[in-house]
């Protein structure tokens, strides 16, 4: 997909339209030229020669050249039709309500299929072409190609026998609190704030990229998240520190960067931090793993699966149940301890997520894991 998939959607459409128009002009010029240009050869009269049987003999070079031009014209026409169909596909996806990120991904995939030599109007040919790339593509990439082409065929009123997939959803591998601290500390001030926001709210990069300052209630310390990629809308509380950071962030930068920009910056700062700390394990942490980190730590703190489901924006409880399995994984075992002498103090601690431990000298002791990262402002 390359650089094409990173272009803004309108730029992709304009680029494909110009390609189609230019090809039309070039083909017309070639047709006019071939009509006016009579290929005269020595020893080969115009129109060929007759043999003893009276049959006209056309020079083999002229015949091959004619066939080549015909094949070339046909190939150009097919490619031009394919490019025009991609433009139609993009507008179809927009009408169907697909996100801009998905549209760019699907359009990039279709353009990639064409560059690989696939006839996108022939499902069996596409299946043959992508089969040759099976070993090179990840399971996720393979799935996206199948989804994109299936959507293309559905638009065209066609269907196909999809290639088999071996996709099996495994358990995510959330980073530890120390790893999150290290990676955020290794980023620039702007992106340290972005990464801290993702770690403390569980937003996906695409969801964060769609947020504006109007989605933040700095007085109440909450952010209203519009769910993307199947996630539900939700309201996420923010710590006083994060609330202040986000207020300063919008005052200085105006808006979140795009999701793909976040990803590139994450890999840049992550790899640089891994080299600096000589810790190759950091290079395996994806930006999306900050969301899994949030879900795992939130369940460890609350043990309330329905609350976690709500804050993660899951539509199915089965998805949230994943984090009950991850909680058995090693986490930060340090605790914050608090004492309560009155009912009101005990109530405040319970509301803050502390759990009761024991009584000593008529004083109730509570504790809470230090699991939500105690990040200092970048």
For each of the domains in the chain, give its residue range(s) and CATH number, in order of start: 2-155 (no CATH), 177-326 (1.10.443.10)
Beta strand pairing call for 355-360 and 363-369: antiparallel
Comparison of pLDDT for 237 and 26, the residue scoring more:
237
Mean pLDDT of 301-324: 92
Contacts of 287 (CB under 8 A, 6+ apart): 195, 198, 205, 262, 263, 266, 267
**Nearest-CA neighbor of 330 among 174, 122, 132?**
174
The pLDDT score that the predictor gives to residue 378 is 38
CA distance 233 to 230: 10
Mean pLDDT of 88-113: 91
Considering the entire predicted model, what is its pTM? 0.61
Comparison of pLDDT for 9 and 208, the residue scoring more:
208
How many CA atoms does the CB half-sphere of 284 hold within 13 Å? 8
What's the whole-number average pLDDT of the chain? 81
Residue 34 has pLDDT above 50, yes or no: no
Mean pLDDT of 298-305: 87
CA distance 52 to 149: 57
The least confident of 96-105, 251-260, 288-297, 330-339 is 330-339
Give the max Cα distance, the chain. Answer: 125
**Nearest-CA neighbor of 192 among 334, 373, 313?**
373
Helix (H) or strand (E) holding 50: strand 49-50
The pLDDT score that the predictor gives to residue 12 is 57
Mean pLDDT of 150-173: 85
- Give, in order, the Cα–Cα distances in Å from 147 to each of 13, 30, 51, 117: 20, 38, 59, 19
As a residue count, the chain comes to 378
The pLDDT score that the predictor gives to residue 140 is 80
Helix, strand, coil: what percent of the chain each, to 5?
A: 60, 10, 35
**Nearest-CA neighbor of 235 among 202, 273, 281?**
202
* Contact between 327 and 302 (Cβ < 8 Å): no
Residue 78 has pLDDT above 70, yes or no: no
The pLDDT score that the predictor gives to residue 289 is 96
The pLDDT score that the predictor gives to residue 353 is 75
pLDDT digits (tens, 9 = 90+) for 122-150: 999 999 999 999 889 888 888 899 999 99
CA distance 123 to 142: 15
The pLDDT score that the predictor gives to residue 367 is 83
Comparison of pLDDT for 215 and 7, the residue scoring more:
215
The pLDDT score that the predictor gives to residue 307 is 94
Mean pLDDT of 293-307: 90
The pLDDT score that the predictor gives to residue 10 is 60
Mean pLDDT of 40-67: 48
Return the C-alpha torsion angle 51, 55, 59, 64, nearest 10: -150
Find residue 355's DSSP bridge partners: 367
CA torsion through residues 322, 324, 329, 335, sign: positive
The pLDDT score that the predictor gives to residue 230 is 84
Mean pLDDT of 204-222: 96
Beta strand pairing call for 222-225 and 216-217: antiparallel
φ, ψ of residue 40 to 5 degrees: the values are -95, 130
Percent of the chain with pLDDT over 90: 52
């Amino acid at each position: 997909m390359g650089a094409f998939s990173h272009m803004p959607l309108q730029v992709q459409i304009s680029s494909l339209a110009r390609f189609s128009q230019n090809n039309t002009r070039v083909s017309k010029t070639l047709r006019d030229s071939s009509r006016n240009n009579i290929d005269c050869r020595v020893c080969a009269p115009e129109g060929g020669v007759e043999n003893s049987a009276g049959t006209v003999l056309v020079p083999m070079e002229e015949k091959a050249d004619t066939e080549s031009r015909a094949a070339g014209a046909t190939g150009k026409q097919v490619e031009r039709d394919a490019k025009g169909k991609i433009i139609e596909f993009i507008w179809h996806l927009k009408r169907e309500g697909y996100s801009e990120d998905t549209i760019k991904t699907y359009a990039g995939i279709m353009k990639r299929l064409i560059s690989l030599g696939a006839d996108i109007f022939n499902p069996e040919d596409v299946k043959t072409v992508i089969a040759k790339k099976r070993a090179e593509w990840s399971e996720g990439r393979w799935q996206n190609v199948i989804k994109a082409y299936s959507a293309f065929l559905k638009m065209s009123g066609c269907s196909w026998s999809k290639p088999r997939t071996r996709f099996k959803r495994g358990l995510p591998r959330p980073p530890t609190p120390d790893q999150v601290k290290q990676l955020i500390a290794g980023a620039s001030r702007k992106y340290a704030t972005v990464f801290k926001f993702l770690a403390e709210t569980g937003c996906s990069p695409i969801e964060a990229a769609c947020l504006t300052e109007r989605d933040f209630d700095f007085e109440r310390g909450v952010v209203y998240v519009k769910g993307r990629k199947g996630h539900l809308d939700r309201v996420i509380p923010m710590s006083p520190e994060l609330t202040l950071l986000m207020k300063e962030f919008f005052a200085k930068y105006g808006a979140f960067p795009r999701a793909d920009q976040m990803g590139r910056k994450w890999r840049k700062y992550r790899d640089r931090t891994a080299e600096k700390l000589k810790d190759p394990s950091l290079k395996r942490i994806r930006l999306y793993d900050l969301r899994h980190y949030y879900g795992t730590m939130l369940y460890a703190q609350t043990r309330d699966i329905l609350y976690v489901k709500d804050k993660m924006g899951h539509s199915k409880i089965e998805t949230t149940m994943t984090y009950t399995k991850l909680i058995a994984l090693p986490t930060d075992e340090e605790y914050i301890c608090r004492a309560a002498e009155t009912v009101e103090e005990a109530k405040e601690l319970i509301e803050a997520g502390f759990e009761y431990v024991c009584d000593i000298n008529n004083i109730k002791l509570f504790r809470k894991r230090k699991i939500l990262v105690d990040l200092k402002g970048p």
